[in-house]
Structure 1
Amino acid sequence: MNIADGHNLRHRASTAAVLDFAWDAGVFRADHVIAALSLTRSTALAALDTLIEVGLVSELATAGPDEGYRIGRPARRFELRADAGVLVGIDAGDRQFTATATDLAGRILAREQIETRTFFDAAAAGTPTVDPRERPAAALRAIDAVLAAAGMTRRQVIGVGVGIPAPVDGDGRSPAHRRGFWQHMNSGLHDALSAEFPAVRVENDAALAALAEGTLGEARGQDDFMAILVGRRLGSGVFLDGRLVRGAHGGVGELEGLVYVAEIGNTFGIGLRVENWLRNAHEQKLIPAGHPWAGLAGAGLTAEAALAAASLEDPVTRPLLEELGTKLGRICSVVARFYDPGLIVVCGAMSGSLGDVIAIARRQVGAESELPPPLIVASQFGADVVSLGAVSAAREAAQTVALGLFTGRHQDRSSTP
């Protein structure tokens, strides 16, 4: 290696380090970079000039006297160019895809939702082995819809994150399921999207809920925590020592072991438990006329509506809340004994209506735990938690490719006559 090659390698390494710093720094000065990365001033400024040249960093107007620079030359200020690219996060559920587009700083530009045929609809129609291209095509339709709403194009997309209701390994792939559900949920998503976009990350939906909580929500600053999705089915994302834990096949967090736990016996979520409980209560005529639950039947019977009208002070609704709190407490006790999290975040569309349920669960876990019990809290993101986690995953994926991508594009522009 000659001297020039060595210099170029060092410059690329320092430029990559400065971009990593700028990615989450907001507005910063060169001295912030120097202190954080132990670079010389000339090295830091050379890296910043390169990032400005390729279009990843902007230099801001110098600060005025009212901002603290009264003596000497005003300091140069910088920030990541949020408008340099687009990120897309997709909550790819069984029956609908919700796509969120953001700039590189994570600011939401648009959100769109499309419907798709469910796995169970296909099975009922006698075609349980559905076209493996169906869900990748749906993902691309959702991306195109949200880009159109944001006034953007596919070429502007740097990273895509996708959350699916299936275990996912570190390569973005899912194992076979005996009924075909997992392979249908993840039928070539990573490969199809990677053919269109620079950086793609496919994860389990509950894992992305955990990522959202760790980067934006209740678990910021926590190294050991879990997010539990409590919709119609249960799933969890597990962070230990600051890292997402997947396992050999992505099965960590699937909670299939609950089938062996007394008083639980399955992976039914709170949503499904509420709907089943209300159906039985209606059949047994346990809900008096005029009660808010009396009108919750048929299409109007949703867990969200039921929980919104439930209270421990109401003798009709109290038994359901107590049952849910006891079951959630038992679930949290089981996972706490396996993973020892400091925090468990209860996530999903109904999380904001689970105050009484979580209070009961906290008391039960505190009474059962040998170790210091985890704190159990509700997510503040509601139904958006997986989409937000998908955007966070897209942003992390984009960070790994941005410098090479923008450098290559800059070189292509420079070499064009």
Structure 2
Amino acid sequence: MINSGGTPSGRIPGMPASPSTARAINDRLALELLQQQGPLTAGQLKTETGLSRPTVADLVERLQASGLIRVVGESGADRRGPNARLYGIVADRAHLAALDVRTESVAVVVADLLGTRLAEASLPIGGDSEPGPVVQRAAALVERTSRDAGAAALHSVCVGAPGLIDPSTGELRDTTGLPAWHRMLVAALQQRLPARVIVENETNLAALAEQRLGAAGDRDSFAFLWLGQGVGAGIFLDGRLRRGASGGAGEIGFLPVPGTAGIPSAVDCDGGFHSLAGTAAIRELGQRYGLVGESAAGVVAAAVAADHAAVLDPGCVVLGGETGHAGGEALASRVEARVAALSPLPTQVRAGVLGDAAVLSGALLTAGEAARRELFG
């Protein structure tokens, strides 16, 4: 927090902030509080920020004039007048969209600035569909869902997709044998929508959602394992999602391992760890040895979790994806026991709680953060 003319945290002593900088910092602080806690009175904002009453009065006036906040009610039946007014963020100031793009489907959700979901839809994609018509149908789905949500325009869109995201360009790279329509869809959305379009790896988004809303809410460091049709990992260390120098941190599907028919290539993970840990391989393993789904999955998940424990020491591993969700706590407890036998490092293993919704939830969080960064200053 900072009053006009004060010194914000981290500023060099003897170099006071300019009045405009101080106002921007104070406004952002107030907006973040309103976003996190909900409507507050001017008095509550004063208490939470430590700012003076005149400073709070000024920022409330500024934020109302900018259309970012408005009076949404009063704090209690016994109180009346200016001091009782509750101020809240104008949720419909901006609308967000999140997409979960998979090999055989696209799912979309549209929400307001506070993340309240207003409309959802999905579209199945046939394996032999031509890329051009698929892109047109998927883009039209986003536009139609936006209209159904009552959004005049979308401000920020986040697309969750399998594959590597180039950290320098933010583009989906052609390195994992993805359908051509995946990259074409991102380009089409950028051209057709008056919105900022962000692309992020689906596993990273699922990890973000589990950290903010799910099984890893109390952890600053953890590894998230996506075990499903594809395999991957999202890595949080010291509260930060780690993407790697080229965006490939967690791409465990490409790991060359013995026991497969070949080796992975730069554009295809067949022959790598994916061939042992994907849904098809887990099902085949279970059938071969007479194991039920979660027991077969446990053989693979334990090995991967132990590897992450030894290399990263995250202290916690969350199992997600179709296999992790289906196995639940029973699978997690078995994997934890096995990891304890394989690694000297204490590692909790937890079942993800968001299931298939994790990617969309993470994409919505990402779109919301992007919109608020721009609008809040």
Shared fold per TM-score greater than 0.5: yes
Please state how far the C-alpha of 1:117 moved relative to its aligned partner.
5.5
Higher relative contact order (CA 8 A, sep 6+): 1
Match of 1:384 in 2: 357
1:266 to 266, 269, 273: 273
Distance 1:167 1:362 in 2: 29
Of 275, 278, 283, the residue aligned with 2:283 is 275
- What are the residue-to-residue correspondences of 1:50-89 with 2, within 5 Å? 50-64=62-76, 74-89=83-98
Q: Which structure 1 residue ranges, 5 or more long, are not aligned?
A: 287-315, 405-417
RMSD over aligned CA atoms reads 3.3
2:329 is the counterpart of 1:367: no
**Counterpart amino acid of 1:181?**
L
Greater shift after overlay, 40-49 or 190-199?
Answer: 190-199
What is the one-letter code of the residue matched to 2:211? Answer: G
Report deviation, 1:382.
Answer: 1.8
| Larger CA deviation: 212-221 vs 41-50 | 41-50
More displaced stretch, 29-38 vs 363-372: 29-38
Q: Residue 325 of structure 1 aligns with which residue?
A: 298
Q: Report how far residue 55 of structure 1 moved.
A: 2.3
Partner of 1:401: 374
What is the distance in 2 between the residues matched to 1:172 and 1:30?
40
Partner of 1:294: none
Unaligned runs of 5+ in 2: 6-17, 261-270
Letter in 1 for 2:204: A
Residue 173 (structure 1) aligned with residue 180 (structure 2): no
* Separation of aligned partners in 2, 1:182 and 1:248: 25
Instruction: State the alpha-carbon separation in 1 of the partners of residues 320 and 272 from structure 2.
Output: 21
Q: Indicate the residue corresponding to 2:8 in structure 1.
A: none
Normalised by the length of structure 1, the TM-score is: 0.73
| CA distance in 2: counterparts of 1:31 and 1:114, whole angstroms | 48
Q: Considering only CA atoms, is the larger Rg found in Structure 1 or Structure 2?
A: 1
Residue of structure 1 equivalent to 2:309 = 336
Q: Is the 8 A contact 1:87 1:395 kept in 2?
A: yes
CA-to-aligned-CA distance 1:179-220 (integer Å, 9 cap, x gap) = 753876334726842773443321000000011111211112
**What letter is aligned with 2:252?**
L
> How far apart are the structure 1 equivalents of 2:241 and 2:248?
12
**Alignment map for 1:120-269 (pairs within 5 Å):** 121=128, 135=135, 137=136, 139-153=138-152, 155=153, 157-170=154-167, 171-177=169-175, 180-181=177-178, 185-187=182-184, 189=186, 192-193=189-190, 196-256=193-253, 258-260=255-257, 266-268=273-275, 269=277
Q: 1:54 to 1:73 in 2, by over 3 A?
A: closer
User: Relative to 1, partners in 2 of residues 1:97 and 1:64: Cα closer, same or farther, differing over 3 Å?
Assistant: same
Compare 97-106 and 167-176 and name the one that shifted more: 167-176
**Given the superposition, is the C-alpha separation of residues 383 and 339 from structure 1 closer, same or farther in structure 2, using an over 3 Å criterion?**
same
Question: 263-272 or 41-50, which moves further after superposition?
Answer: 263-272
Q: Give the length in aligned residue pairs.
A: 349
Shift of 1:378: 1.5
Provide the rounded CA distance (Å) in 2 between the counterparts of 1:261 and 1:38: 60
Partner of 2:102: 93
Is the Cα–Cα contact under 8 Å of residues 95 and 156 in structure 2 kept in the other structure? Answer: yes
Percent identity, please: 26
Distance in 2, matches of 1:345 and 1:163, equals 19
- The residue aligned with 1:21 is 33
The amino acid that maps onto 2:349 is I
> Match for residue 109 of structure 1?
118
The alignment's TM-score, normalised by the length of structure 2, stands at 0.80
* Amino acid corresponding to residue 397 of structure 1 in structure 2: A
Work out whether residues 221 and 236 of structure 2, in 8 Å CA contact, stay in contact via their aligned partners in 1. yes
Instruction: Look up the equivalent residue of 1:369 and give its one-letter code.
Output: S
**SS of corresponding position for 2:59:** helix
Q: Give the letter for the 2:141 counterpart.
A: A
Whole-Å separation in 2 of the counterparts to 1:35 and 1:200: 37
2-side partners of 1:16 and 1:234: how far apart? Answer: 39
Q: Which moved more, 1:258-267 or 1:37-46?
A: 258-267
Deviation, structure 1 residue 376 = 1.4
Aligned-partner Cα distance in 1 for 2:311–2:138: 35
Alpha-carbon distance in structure 1 between the residues aligned to 2:305 and 2:115: 31
Residue equivalent to 1:357:
331
SS at match of 1:87: strand
